[in-house]
Structure 1
Amino acid sequence: MPSGPTTEHDKLAELRARIDVIDADIHGLLMERSTIIDALVAAKGTQSGADSTPTGAAFRPLREADMMRRLVERHEGTLPIITVENIWRVIISTFTRLQADYVVHLDGSADPLAMRDTARFYFGFSLDLIDADDPESVIAAIAESTTDLGVVALNRNALTPWWRTLGGAGPRILARLPFLQQTGRPADLPALVISPKVSEPGEPDIAVYDASWAVSGHRAENALTEAGIEILARHIGEGTDALIAVPSDMDAASVTSLLEQAGVEPGRLREVGGYAAAIDLDDDGDDDF
């Protein structure tokens, strides 16, 4: 008597049964993850006091980046890695919300459809999205919260130096979107995630500075770019206000020195956050950049 399926119908039934088992396993693992999150929340409450308010946003972008890197490293098969990223983002966002409820404030100066696509891809559909007028309004909303997040579109030529109010004890840049970079990917609006203080900030790969210099020409920008520093946004007035992304192994003194060597007078230089280096999927080796 045959031990395996003998007809095409039997083969299909067996494959579908295997899918059902896998789906049940996935569901079971998600419920198990939920119980661990419950235990984590309880442990944090024990450490800080049961009646205490959150000490900061539960957002963990550097840990998320490590998770995504491991996903990319072990991924194989025909399932697009961007789809896997989206699934994981929904899982992460949902379980983060179980630790500390939050909403996401969106920069209204960007294309609204592109902004919502990016936010939904990154945070999922169960989270409330709040439209704000502009980057300054997003930052103001985050400043009044201990757990909310904001998404601000990255425009190289900024209408205002909106980043001037970041840093210190106020809101900071904690992530850059999208994290997986790929030509033609969905939800590809370049953006920054703004957060209040987080309880476990970590050490980002890229430090972000609010900078200024006395002239508005290209000498300073060229000098910074040649040194591996990215100009995320700039506002040109009598001089230049800029939001710059600096590799973590380069300190503020080195940035100042570069500006001086370019023949411009450095002005303000304040650290206002940082983020994990993205993964460029268009590179042959899926290397970080």
Structure 2
Amino acid sequence: MSDDPAQLPSLDALRRRIDAIDADLHRLLMDRARVIDGIVAAKRASGAEGVMFRPDREADMMRRMVERHAGSLPLTAVEHLWREIISTSTRLQGDYRVHLDGGADIAAMRDLARFYFGFSVEMETPGDAADVVGTVAASVSDLGIVALSERADLPWWRGLGTDGAQIVARLPFFVAEDRPADLPAVVICRPIPGQEMPDTRVFDARWIGALPGSLMNSGIEVLSFFRTGDGVDALLAVSADMTEEDVLAACIEAGAEPDVLRPVGGYAAPIDIDPGAEDEFETGGWGDPRADEA
């Protein structure tokens, strides 16, 4: 485009171009909805019913969006728009609710939930994190969001498991300094058929008596921990490359074998879109549950 003012498009011409782009966007959204209708019909014809969440596919879509993104439009704004489209498309397959952790900052929790799941999905707050886990485990297709805190008020992850509710995503997915809806949290739902192996696996680990030292040096992130009367419970995140035996060996190397170690889900690794910023998602978070032990 020429820098000569005489050669620049007029304001009216630019507005007509915006109108044309808006019409194209609307047409493409309607085309997308028709494809979703076809997916729903195909599922019903095959005997499958209900909502199908695919956090692995959603993560791949978001990663491709990062790769092709350019220009002045903030990436988090595109993320929010894309999440609204994805959530609405999922809702076309059937109704579902999102249950919020009432033990967290409720305003921050609602901001996070609306950013990722939009305004058309029903939100409920059944109680604390353990109540969210129980409610989701008893549902057919509902989701739950539980806030992550360094030291938990209760070991809510004990209610997770491969047959009930399990962790399927970690929020925020795009990590950046001063981003909107930045409350650290995990998404839980019932097991997803055909779900691919996530980038990160999550374990419920429990120690009685002797506690491990820093696990971070072994590639283990402590997402949250709870001090019991005689030990500690911890929610651990590891690379999917690590087997359960690898995690057990790493804990032993750190000084203590866990009395309980069981898988409770996994998630796609968040993307740091602000490489200059340090954050707990990339640095390993809280690595030593003995740090406050006097």
Query: With structure 2 as the length reference, what TM-score do the two structures score?
Result: 0.89
Give SS of 1:93's match: helix
For 2:38, the equivalent position in structure 1 comes to: 39
Aligned runs of 1:71-86 on 2, under 5 Å?
A: 71-86=65-80
CA contact (8 A) 2:204 2:261 kept: yes
CA distance in 2, matches of 1:253, 1:81: 39
CA distance in 2, matches of 1:147, 1:248: 25
1:207 maps to 2:201: yes
CA distance in 2, matches of 1:103, 1:39: 23
CA contact (8 A) 1:139 1:194 kept: yes
1:283 maps to 2:282: no
1:98 maps to 2:98: no
1:239 to 210, 216, 231: 231
For 2:218, the equivalent position in structure 1 comes to: 227
1:61 to 55, 58, 67: 55
Amino acid aligned to 1:173:
I
CA contact (8 A) 2:100 2:132 kept: yes
Give SS of 2:46's match: helix
Change (3 A) 1:273 1:221: farther
* TM-aligned CA deviation for residue 126 of structure 1: 1.3
Aligned runs of 1:1-289 on 2, under 5 Å?
A: 11-48=10-47, 53-54=49-50, 57-215=51-209, 217=211, 220-222=212-214, 224-237=215-228, 238-283=230-275
* TM-aligned CA deviation for residue 211 of structure 1: 0.7
Query: Larger deviation: 255-264 or 113-122?
Result: 255-264
Per-residue CA distance 1:42-81 (angstroms, 9 max, x = gap): 1111111xxx643xx4211111111111111110000000
Change (3 A) 1:216 1:25: farther
CA contact (8 A) 1:232 1:245 kept: yes
* TM-aligned CA deviation for residue 132 of structure 1: 2.1
Number of aligned pairs?
Answer: 273
* TM-aligned CA deviation for residue 40 of structure 1: 0.4
CA contact (8 A) 1:221 1:231 kept: no
Amino acid aligned to 2:15:
R
* TM-aligned CA deviation for residue 216 of structure 1: 6.1
CA contact (8 A) 2:204 2:236 kept: yes
Per-residue CA distance 1:152-189 (angstroms, 9 max, x = gap): 00012111111011013101100000000001101000
* TM-aligned CA deviation for residue 214 of structure 1: 2.5
CA contact (8 A) 2:202 2:235 kept: yes
Gapped regions of structure 2 (runs ≥ 5)? 283-294
Question: What root-mean-square deviation, in Å, do the aligned CA atoms of Structure 1 and Structure 2 show?
Answer: 1.8
CA contact (8 A) 1:146 1:197 kept: no
Give SS of 1:235's match: strand
Query: Larger deviation: 93-102 or 260-269?
Result: 260-269
CA distance in 1, matches of 2:259, 2:90: 39
CA contact (8 A) 1:104 1:148 kept: yes
CA contact (8 A) 2:162 2:265 kept: no
Q: Percent identity?
A: 52
Give SS of 2:195's match: coil
Amino acid aligned to 1:202:
E
CA contact (8 A) 2:162 2:191 kept: no
Query: With structure 1 as the length reference, what TM-score do the two structures score?
Result: 0.90
CA contact (8 A) 2:43 2:49 kept: no
